[in-house]
Amino acid sequence: MTEQDCLFCKIVNGDINADIVFENDSLIAFRDINPKAPTHVLLIPREHIATMNDLEDGHDTLAGELFLTAARIAADEGLADDGYRVVMNCNAAAGQSVFHIHLHLLGGRTMGWPPG
């Protein structure tokens, strides 16, 4: 998978439309096209990073920003008090299907545990 072929890089570049809920210089958050909960937002870095295994020391601020922004969006979506889940799938066994890291923010329903 090259960056040219990467679906989420195409969203970053504006080549594919997305329902964007937040963006800044380093990340974009948009609604999942096939939501698994009433609120399902994906947070992605603008930088192409294929999997969580590819995070490096220089990504510490970016990784923190993904979580901080997820918490802020959860609050904006009215999920903070009831609760919500954030998930990052890494590679095939976890179910990763798009190889550009993304944090799932899911809320608006009661979640089961452990996840499938």
User: What does the binding site for ligand AMP look like in residue numbers (CB under 6 A)?
Assistant: 7, 16, 18, 30, 32-34, 42, 89, 95-98
31 has which bridge partners? Answer: 41
Q: Which of 48, 100, 102, 104 is catalytic?
A: 102
Nearer to ligand AMP, 58 or 112 (CB): 112
Nearer to ligand AMP, 34 or 110 (CB): 34
Contacts of 53 (CB under 8 A, 6+ apart): 90, 91
Identify whether 102 is a catalytic site residue.
yes
Return d(Cα 15, Cα 81) in angstroms, integer: 36
Return d(Cα 53, Cα 10) in angstroms, integer: 22
Nearer to ligand AMP, 33 or 111 (CB): 33
Catalytic annotation, residues? 102
